[in-house]
Amino acid sequence: MVRRQSKLSKVLLSIVLILFGIYAAFPIIWMLICSFKQNDYIFYWPPKIIDESFSFNTYIKVLTDPVKLRFFLNSYIVSGVVVVLTLIIGIMAAYAFSRYNFKFKKPINSLIVGVQAIPQIVLLIPYMGIIVAMKLFNTYWALILTYLVMTLPYCILMMTGYFNTLSKELDDSVRIDGGSRFRALWGVLVPISTPALVSVGLYTFMTAWNEYLFALVLTQTTNMRTIPIGINLLITEHNYDWSMMMSMSVLGSLPILILFLFFQKYFISGMSSGAIKE
Amino acid sequence: MATITLKNISKVFESTGKKKSEENTRTLAVSDFNLEIKDKEFVVLVGPSGCGKSTTLRMIAGLEEISSGELYIDDVLVNDIEPKDRDIAMVFQNYALYPHMTVYDNIAYPLKLHKVPKAEIQERVMEAARILDIEQYLKRKPKALSGGQRQRVAIGRAIVRNPKVLLMDEPLSNLDAKLRNQMRAEIIALRSKINTTFVYVTHDQTEAMTLGDRIVIMKDGFIQQAASPQDAFDHPANIFVAGFIGAPSMNFFPGKLLRQGDVYCVQVEDLIVQLPEEKCARLAGKDVQPQDITVGVRPSHINVDTGVENELTGTINVSEMMGTEVHLHVKSSGNDVVIIVPVIGSYASYEKYLRQDEVVKFSFTGEACHVFDSEGKNLEF
């Protein structure tokens, strides 16, 4: 049944959507605006989008300060390694769940789902203990290992679901053509799973990039801090450097924004079409 | 270029019960399968779904573990040899093409995995493409091809390696009827071009009859009969084979086997026909006693209105005009009987067979009769 929308309802709908759009985008817009102002001008009333203090000074300061650049480097290292490890481990685990039958498959699967349901704050103290005991406190590995616990379940579940949609005859075919199961996975299944891999990869990167709580607790020295902590370090007892915080936030958001734009074209369905008769 | 020997092959699928109260279930998919496939022979495994034909093929391929029994390829025991080391190729029902590769790369893939030099790969891919007439599609991805073209690529990928054995798992079942007939003819032609041993799985008896040197009819995991297509058609081992091979299916009538010395007769209702000498000799040789039997007669072997004494009668339920013949579905004493009446001569001569509820009289000769005992076994065997 097709119902024609009246003009009025269309206009109303548009207004509501625009209002929600502004509501959602406002913090980001305000972040951008503030990053170009000097700290003192931020609280002027009425607020101006661009005032006489407009400059790129805070950006230059951030990008020339070795301490702050180190925050970025740390975040890139931790997030990058987490993405790579999550995908490698997750893909192989998902393949096993999708293609093999083994003892305790269901309980293990339930456990993986269950891990996600536990609030992270509950795990903070046990992890702290484990990380200290493993002598990994204040290292990249402290963050990487804990982030893997957060990102792997999602990756395994997503990839298992995706692999289940791919015909087992593809694996069989590779094995007959002269390859191993390993070859079937990395040579055929993974290349045609790009849409799922991109979304899992992005989710993983965002999780690692944005994480605050564990980064705060499991690292100690300034040279090991990541961006979320680095931004927070700008809040001192006597001074809130808002414009600096905002410019760091903008720079911190950029990688995710760029990744989204870059990988957008991979979010297309039907990468596997043509393999199997539908 | 290989012989395949299956000795007492069985396959059991075990599934563990989810709860403690549930018992583990064992499904016998293939049972005590014995077959010798000769070098360059074209063997077709045929049977209804779930009869174990695909499982048998997958065991030959090495994709399915063998629960018990021995499998030899060229007299080498291959039970525990990986599929990649068996030198076999397989064409799948769903093509199983690699969607991210071009047609060329798809066909070249097995050669790449076997580390064949690049120049030779090029040569052999072109040769396979030429045989299958897909040279103009080599740069395309599988999704840009039609069903028939995809199946050709799948066959190309299988033959490019010159495998010892070529396995085909219902390769035509995804194609429409016209294309299926065309591809069937191409497979027959392909066979003369590549000298290798074929094992072909299908549920379609027409495919089995037209393609195979030998057909193996399976049911519930057991071989019912392994014979040449003509032999299986002429001398079915049991009622199942008799009903499965041939279209339309064979008709079955409850009847009696009568004996006078070495002469046997078959009685259906009041119609009594004498079996031909060779059948009588076989029955006499086995000293078969008079008994209740099932008489099988092929639709094309039933004659209508011949004026023979004590003809059977029935009324036409449906008649299907096929052009050169009419298929009559006749109700006769509770039996559904299919009769093929050839269309010869004027319209008037066969017009009555196109009328519903028309009464027809029919009979058959002793040559047309297949006699099965109460368990469905052919008494001549």
> Residue type for B205, please?
Q
Of A171, A169, A164, A145, the closest CA to residue A89 belongs to A145
Are A105 and B16 within 8 A, CB to CB?
Answer: no
Residues of chain B with CATH 2.40.50.140: 248-372
Asked if B36 and B20 touch (Cβ cutoff 8 Å), the reply is no
Say if domain B248-372 classifies as CATH 2.60.40.1230: no
Sheet holding B222-227, edge to edge: B88-91, B165-169, B197-202, B42-46, B214-219, B222-227
Backbone angles phi, psi at B122, to 5 degrees: -55, -45
pLDDT band at residue A176 under the 50/70/90 scheme? very high
| pLDDT value, residue B381 | 84
> Mind listing the pLDDT tens digit for each residue in B289-312?
999 999 999 999 999 988 888 899
Contacts of B142 in chain A (CB under 8 A): 274-275
What band does A199 get if pLDDT is binned at 50, 70 and 90? Answer: confident
State the nearest Cα–Cα gap between B60 and chain A, in angstroms: 11
Tell whether B116 lies on the interface with A, counting CB pairs under 8 A.
Answer: no
CB atoms within 10 A of CB B98: 25
Kindly state whether A165 is in contact with chain B, defined as any CB-CB distance less than 8 angstroms.
no
> Is residue B251's pLDDT more than 50?
yes
Distance of residue A112 Cα from the nearest chain B Cα, in angstroms: 19
CB atoms closer than 10 angstroms to residue A266: 15
* Tokens 């204040």 sit on residue: A138
Cβ–Cβ below 8 Å for A169 and B96: yes
* pLDDT tens, residue by residue, A85-135: 999 999 999 999 999 988 899 999 999 988 888 888 898 999 999 999 999
Integer-rounded Cα radius of gyration of chain A: 24
pLDDT in tens, B34-67: 999 999 999 999 999 989 999 999 999 999 999 9
Searching chain A, which residue's CA lies closest to the CA of residue B62?
A176
Residues of chain B with CATH 3.40.50.300: 4-243
- Cα angle value B128/B132/B135 (rounded, 5°): 75
B contacts of A169 (beta carbons < 8 Å): 92-94, 96
Is A105 in CB contact (< 8 Å) with chain B?
no
Determine the pLDDT at residue B327.
Answer: 93
Q: Is B251 left (phi over 0), alpha (psi -120 to 50) or beta?
A: beta
Q: For a pLDDT cut of 90, what percent of chain A falls above it?
A: 58
Q: Give the per-residue pLDDT at A47.
A: 79
Looking at A166-220, list the stretches that DSSP marks H as alpha helix, in order from N- to C-terminal side: 168-177, 181-183, 194-210, 213-218
To the nearest 10 degrees (0 to 180), the angle between helices B147-159 and B177-193 is: 20
What CATH class has B4-243? Answer: alpha beta
Report residue A11: phi and psi, to 5°: -65, -45
Q: Is A190 touching B (CB cutoff 8 A)?
A: no
Min Cα distance B366 → chain A (Å) is 48
Could you tell me the strand order of the sheet in which B251-260 lies?
B271-274, B263-268, B251-260, B291-297, B370-372
B contacts of A197 (beta carbons < 8 Å): none
The confidence band for B22, taking pLDDT boundaries of 50, 70 and 90, is low
In chain A, the domains with their CATH numbers are 57-266 (1.10.3720.10)
Sheet containing B335-342: give its strands across: B303-304, B359-363, B312-321, B325-332, B335-342
Q: Which residues of B touch A188 (CB under 8 A)?
A: 98, 100
Q: What are phi and psi of A169, to 5 degrees?
A: -65, -25
